[in-house]
Structure 1
Amino acid sequence: MKRIFLFLLTNIAVMVVLSITMNVLGVGRYLTANGLDLSQLLIFSALVGFTGAIISLLISKWMAKTSTGARVIDPQAPANAREAWLVDTVHQLADRAGIGHPEVAIYEGEPNAFATGAFKNNALVAVSSGLLESMTEEEIGAVLGHEISHVANGDMITLTLIQGVVNTFVVFLARVIGYFVDRVLLKNDKDVGLGYYATVIVCEIVFGILASVIVAWFSRRREYRADAGSAHLLGAREPMIHALARLGGVQAGELPKTFQASGIAGAQAISAIFASHPPLAARIQALQTMRVA
């Protein structure tokens, strides 16, 4: 919770500095004199930027179950020995990580797994039937440790906050530039015109692409941390190394777009800078050089 508070405080400070900088440079005063209230725009941008991201987080468990067809295992009445082992392993790892027991689910598909949920003590960990069939218990345990580490690290919440912040800047800067183009370059002294709307659309596309690079960079960082977290929870790096090597030899299952960044294996990206996951070889190398306490 402290990390989230500091993160929010830092980004609020960044927004305040941006607003002050624009006023010092005279941009804010000029735009205000021409009818644009930067404070109101910043509030509007934050509402637009954060609302969608936060709502998606709050309903993420429901969306995950619905979109993947995941079946939650009743911890009191697992259907078979494999399900009982799966639930018991997840609960043991959660205890070691100091979080509440998440729901455990299985869904049909090629090898993959993910964790999601708005709260550390009320999360969901799901694994595919393909992963259960293609990996050993040791490797599955490492994958579960990876997903539990995501939950314990608060990665879903932090990624949502980062997405909200970059969305806010996209909305804010696109409208500031649109207003500037419409009023200054096109000399429109009436209500905002076509130049404003066209500029906003173009800027949101361009800034949105840049924002996705930032979000993808953070997503890759959290994958390294989750891999390391699995090694610490298990007390050894080898199970996670073996699990990643196994993933490299199979066709990983694709998750719905909303949860692609949450999977143990990431989806293909048009460029490495847009990838939500580092290459498997890089993740294995990072594990090989880390120190396990």
Structure 2
Amino acid sequence: MNNFKTGLLIAAITALFLAVGFLIGGTTGMIIALVIAIGMNGFAYWNSDKMVLKMYGARRVTENEAPALVRLVAELAVRAELPMPKVFIMDNPQPNAFATGRNPENAAVAVTSGLMKILTQEELAGVIAHELAHIRNRDTLTMTVTATLAGAISMLANFALFFGGNRDSRGGIIGMLAIMILAPLGAMLVQMAISRTREYSADHTGSEICGNPDWLASALQKLDKAARGIENVPAEKNPASASLFIINPLHGQRADNLFSTHPATTNRVRKLKELAQSLMPGKGRSVRKTRERGLPRARQGTTPYTDGPAGSDNSPKGPWG
């Protein structure tokens, strides 16, 4: 259902782009703007992972440097049937995480130091599984296509601003001004709607990867509460990157509304709880069947996740021992 909704939203932004292009510059202007926008977003597609990791000061870690974290990512990647992604840590007190990369073969998972301090092993597994779900669902590609179309719409609106567009178009000057203002706004709203849809989808797929929706639900509640009181300075300076994170890193955007890049955490947790209930014996797909697929079982009473040097006694082995 989420994939169908995403398809409809992409179709909507495509139709908006074609309509704006025709009204402003005719077929020729539309094609020129599209070519430029594809070039700009093509560069971003091939280099966005490097750009965003550098933006947040992410440091790549190996198993020698962060053995427990890297082993956990590796185990979950196997369960997700994905190549092993690169693992990064951001020195940032706000608990958060994101995945990036143009495809599963060139993917990276980044977590903040703040996230590592407050989550249990099971909760961290839920977060990592969510990010691997984004990689498996190829959400980076989806958002790149959307960004290409939204960028083209904004560019067409700028053409109308600087060159006057097609003054003979229906609606005259008032219609042209409406296009200049409303078209980019409409494109932004569709982008945000797609982002929220992909978050719900990644929550569901991530729960299947780690095997227990409650792990991710518990993590989301902790992250949302903690992120409210801790400013993410790089994110505030680059709000366009907010949709990358598992929890909205920006202050003042906590509702599931038109201008939110993320669904409300309460809504996400509710859906995860419903999924957990459906996995109980006798309700839909049973826990037994889930275990038969080799997915893990939750352990209770674990302590916050920490990492230590390879081979040390305090180095956790992951949620599954």
Scaled by the length of structure 1, the TM-score of the pair is 0.76
The alpha-carbon distance between structure 1 residues 11 and 145, as it changes in their structure 2 partners (threshold 3 A), is same
1:276 counterpart residue number: 261
CA distance in 2, matches of 1:282, 1:17: 31
Whether the 8 Å CA contact 2:99–2:107 is kept in 1: the answer is yes
Q: Give the structure 2 partner of residue 66 of structure 1.
A: 54
The CA RMSD over aligned residues, in Å, is 3.4
Give the alignment partner of residue 190 of structure 2, picking from 194, 205, 214: 214
Deviation, structure 1 residue 91:
1.4
Map 1:67-146 → 2, pairs under 5 A: 67-75=55-63, 78-79=64-65, 83-109=66-92, 110-146=94-130
State the match for 2:293 in structure 1: none
Match in the other structure for 1:189: none
Q: Distance in 2 between matches of 1:211 and 1:111?
A: 30
1:156 pairs, out of 137, 140, 152, with 140
Counterpart Cα distance in 1 of 2:204 and 2:266: 15
Q: CA deviation at 1:173?
A: 6.5
Amino acid corresponding to residue 216 of structure 1 in structure 2 = M
Paired with 2:270 and 2:109, the residues of 1 have a C-alpha distance of 26
1:44 and 2:32 aligned: yes
* Structure 1: unaligned runs, 5 residues or longer: 187-194
In 2, Cα distance between equivalents of 1:251 and 1:270: 11
Q: 1:52 to 1:269 in 2, by over 3 A?
A: farther
Moved more, 204-213 or 224-233: 204-213
CA distance in 2: counterparts of 1:204 and 1:59, whole angstroms: 29
Q: Tell me which of 167, 171, 175 is aligned to 1:181.
A: 167
Amino acid at match of 1:145: A
Output the CA distance in 2 between the equivalents of 1:124 and 1:162: 21
- Distance in 2 separating the partners of 1:17 and 1:126: 33
Secondary structure of the structure 2 residue equivalent to 1:88: helix
Q: Is the 8 A contact 2:160 2:180 kept in 1?
A: no
Give runs of aligned pairs for residues 205-244 of structure 1, distance below 5 A.
205-244=181-220
Identify the residue that residue 247 of structure 2 maps to in structure 1.
265
Matches of residues 9-48 of structure 1 in structure 2 within 5 Å? Answer: 18=18, 38-48=26-36
Q: What SS class does the counterpart of residue 180 from structure 1 fall into? A: coil
Compute the displacement of 1:42 (Å): 2.0
Report Cα offsets for 1:52-104 as digits up to 9, x if no partner: 223222212211221111110124xx22xxx1111111112222222211100
Is the Cα contact below 8 Å between 2:189 and 2:258 reproduced in 1? yes
Distance in 1, Cα, partners of 2:112 & 2:16: 45
Deviation of the 1:260 alpha carbon: 1.2
Contact 1:113–1:125, Cα closer than 8 Å, also in 2: yes
Q: Distance in 2 between matches of 1:52 and 1:72?
A: 27
- Look up the SS of the partner of 1:71 in the other structure: strand
Q: 1:90 aligns to what SS in structure 2?
A: helix
Pair 1:50–1:270, CA change in 2 (3 A): farther
Higher helix share: 1
Contact 1:217–1:273 under 8 Å retained in 2 = yes
Matched letter for residue 202 of structure 2: A
Task: With the length of structure 2 as denominator, give the TM-score of the two structures.
Answer: 0.70
Offset of residue 182 of structure 1:
6.5
- CA contact under 8 A between 1:174 and 1:203: conserved in structure 2? no
Residue 16 of structure 1: CA displacement? Answer: 12
| Inter-partner Cα distance in structure 1 for 2:183 and 2:170 | 21
Compared with structure 1, are the counterparts of its residues 95 and 185 closer, same or farther at alpha carbon in structure 2 (3 Å cutoff)?
Answer: closer
Matched length? 258
What's the secondary structure of 1:274's corresponding residue?
Answer: coil
